[in-house]
């Protein structure tokens, strides 16, 4: 198997200014570009390209596959498919007060962008009492355990204004390509709709559901990482047999 990885615009080794900007629209465009790039690689069959996404990008791969029907398969791990559910989970972790402060920061950042002022930056992860995007008890340690040395724990606050309107879950049952949905039973960041998904997966043969008794960040480490990767390889071998 060939593997293509990439950094979103505004992050890592990719260009794009301002830095540390999460733009859902641009990230979806980057996924489309990455899929097109993969199809042009020598010795790659353009009809056998699968998308793999985790956490926030697990929703991106669903939406990308919906609009790019050439995608042959999708792996969606620890998926964040519903912006409303994500914000609700965030409020359950920290309460309404920090949630309102988060919204306030997003509004200030948006206004600053319109006026040409410096952006309002917030940490991606922090302890439960912090003003950050992810503040569940496992967020800070879990994210930092997998982050590279040059990782910056900050992003522009304006993304919070787009979150409620981003719902790739709308497309999950409209995809006809094979899907592997990997869910964490103890995920408090992106709680999986277990009952609904199991019900729908029984109706649709193209959806494979794997459930792991762990939290959001556990699938990146130790025995859960091994189990998750084994299921992914088995799925891809079955799809492309």
In this structure, are 42 and 143 located in the same domain? no
Domain range for 152: 84-165
114 and 224 share a domain?
no
d(CA 82, CA 192): 10
Of the candidates 160, 164, 166, 162, the one whose C-alpha atom is nearest the C-alpha of residue 105 is: 160
Q: 65-82 pLDDT, tens per residue?
A: 999 999 999 999 998 888
What is the average per-residue pLDDT within 106-123?
Answer: 96
Q: Are 141 and 154 in contact (CB under 8 A)?
A: no
* Residue 223 token pair: 């025995």
What CATH number is associated with residue 44? 3.40.50.1820
pLDDT-derived band at 155 (thresholds 50, 70, 90) equals very high
Least confident among 28-32, 97-101, 109-113:
97-101
Same domain flag for 95 and 45: no
One domain, residues 34 and 75? yes
d(CA 10, CA 66): 25
- Both tokens assigned to 188: 């408090």
Q: Are residues 174 and 138 in the same domain?
A: no
98 and 139 fall within a common domain: yes
Query: Helix 83-94 and helix 96-115: axis angle, to 10°?
Result: 120
> What's the confidence (pLDDT) of residue 235?
98
Closest CA to 49 of 59, 40, 62, 60: 40
Looking up tokens 């991106």 gives 60
Q: Indicate if the pLDDT at residue 16 is higher than 90.
A: yes
Q: Give me the number of domains the chain comprises.
A: 2
Report residue 150 as tokens: 């040059």
Integer Cα distance of 10 and 20 in angstroms? 5
pLDDT of residue 91: 77
Residues 204, 160 share a domain: no
Residues 4 and 71 in one domain: yes
């Amino acid at each position: 198997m060939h593997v293509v990885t990439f950094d979103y615009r505004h992050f890592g080794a990719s260009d794009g200014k301002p830095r540390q900007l999460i733009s859902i629209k641009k990230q979806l465009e980057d996924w489309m570009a990455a899929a097109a790039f993969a199809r042009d690689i020598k010795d790659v069959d353009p009809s056998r390209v699968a998308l793999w996404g985790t956490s926030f990008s697990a929703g991106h791969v669903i939406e990308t596959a919906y609009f790019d029907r050439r995608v042959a398969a999708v792996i969606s791990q620890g998926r964040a498919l519903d912006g409303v559910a994500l914000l609700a989970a965030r409020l359950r972790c920290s309460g309404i007060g920090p949630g309102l402060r988060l919204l306030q920061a997003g509004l200030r950042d948006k206004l600053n962008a319109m006026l040409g002022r410096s952006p309002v930056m917030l940490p991606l992860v922090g302890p439960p009492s912090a003003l950050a995007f992810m503040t569940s008890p496992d967020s800070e340690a879990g994210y930092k355990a997998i982050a590279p040395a040059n990782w910056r724990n900050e992003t522009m606050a304006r993304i919070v204004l787009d979150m409620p309107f981003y719902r790739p879950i709308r497309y999950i049952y409209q995809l006809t390509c094979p899907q592997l949905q990997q869910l964490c039973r103890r995920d408090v960041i992106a709680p999986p709709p277990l009952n609904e998904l199991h019900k729908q997966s029984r109706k649709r043969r193209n959806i494979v559901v794997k459930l792991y008794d762990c939290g959001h960040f556990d699938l990146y480490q130790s025995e859960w990482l091994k189990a998750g990767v084994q299921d992914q390889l088995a799925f891809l071998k079955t799809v492309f047999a």
